[in-house]
Amino acid sequence: MTTTAIQTATAADTILAIDLGKYKSVACVYRAADDLRFTTVPSSRQELGRLIDKYHPSVVLFEACLLAGWVRDLCLEKGVKCLVANTTSEAWKFKHLKRKTDKDDALRLAEVYRLGKFPAVAIPEKEVREKRGLIETRQKLVGRRVALQNRVRALLVSQGLPAPCGAKAWGVLGLEGIAAYAQPIAECGPLELWRGRLHLALTELGHVQGLLGQAEKKLDEMARTNEGMKILDTIPGVGPRTAEAVVAFLPDPKRFRTGKQVSAYGGLVPRQYQSADTDHRGRITKRGPRTLRQLLVECAWVMLRYNRWARAVYERLTHGGKSRKKQAIVALARKLLVRCWAMLRDGTPWRADPAEAART
């Protein structure tokens, strides 16, 4: 995530730093080092709104968490400036602490802001957050579907029956063939309980597929009127699921100044440890949106079949061999993210590289 250093507040400002909790939150009203007070309130819109109205702070500070979205919206409704701390920032990691309490966390927010080192992170609008939530829900449903398919395979293999293979095996005809081995659990004898377990797995699989269809239908409806989706749709090998994730997680492409910032936001850059003559680069950081990273990597594998640019990048990174395939795919996913960002920023469709255009 990108971070920005916030200017030091004046002594006359009132800072309201809140350590948000699921059920209760601890607030620190900070005016000066010797003028502060703590209060504990329930984590609800009504109580936090009442707290803001009581102290009229110049800025409200809190950490990025599950509650950050609606608290940010509440501050905007009250006309109060709010800043959200990026807790994944290196500057926010405190080691060897002798004590850690909610009051300490709230006070630390105010003190870091006073020092002008507050690692602020951008919180998107509610519409964008809702779309991201639907995309993540769809991904979880896909994962659940795969888990159920694997369970069905395991049940059949354990009985010496052929395992379903290929996409057609999970179509209508394929599922009908599998269902022939299933039987309601109440009708199964002691020696045929596996048939009942298979029936339960198939029933749950059908339910998950129905929910997945509903989620994808809504996402398709939202994509029809999105200009960013139309731009990314011009990329060979990039489907609607990857494109909608890129658009949702990069709602404001101009917020990033360089491709390196976009790569770091996606968590697709290597970890680095540098000291004196040592400069070690390890695995990718995996910071930022996990869903976006997963879809980009999946898309990178598919693009090898449909996109000449992707194939050329992959062969260059692997030197035409069979080693370092996974590293090459991750690197390709990072390059794809940067190109998608540039297309959204400039509003331009996909353009083939000169070498690629010459071959077509």
Residues 25, 144 contacting (CB under 8 angstroms): no
Q: How far is CA 298 from CA 192, 280, 293, in A?
A: 39, 28, 9
What single-letter amino acid sits at 292? Answer: L
- Tens of pLDDT, residue by residue over 172-225, are 999 999 999 999 999 999 999 999 999 999 999 999 999 999 999 999 999 998
Nearest to 219 by CA among 136, 125, 339: 136
pLDDT of residue 275: 67
CA angle 229, 230, 235 (to 5 degrees): 90
Residues 48, 74 contacting (CB under 8 angstroms): yes
pLDDT of residue 20: 95
Consecutive 10-residue averages of pLDDT for the chain (360 residues): 43 84 95 88 96 94 94 95 84 66 91 89 93 96 97 96 91 94 95 96 97 97 93 95 96 93 91 68 84 96 94 90 88 96 95 56
> Where are the strands (E) in 141-290, listed by range?
270-275, 278-284
Distance CA 232, CA 338 (A): 12
Distance CA 27, CA 51 (A): 9
pLDDT of residue 11: 38
Q: Which two tokens stand for residue 261?
A: 């910032």
- Tens of pLDDT, residue by residue over 277-302, are 666 677 888 888 999 999 999 999 99
Quote the distance between the C-alpha of residue 292 and its chain's center: 5
Of all helices (H) and strands (E), which one includes residue 61? strand 59-63
Helix axes 290-306, 325-346, angle to 10 degrees: 100
pLDDT of residue 276: 67
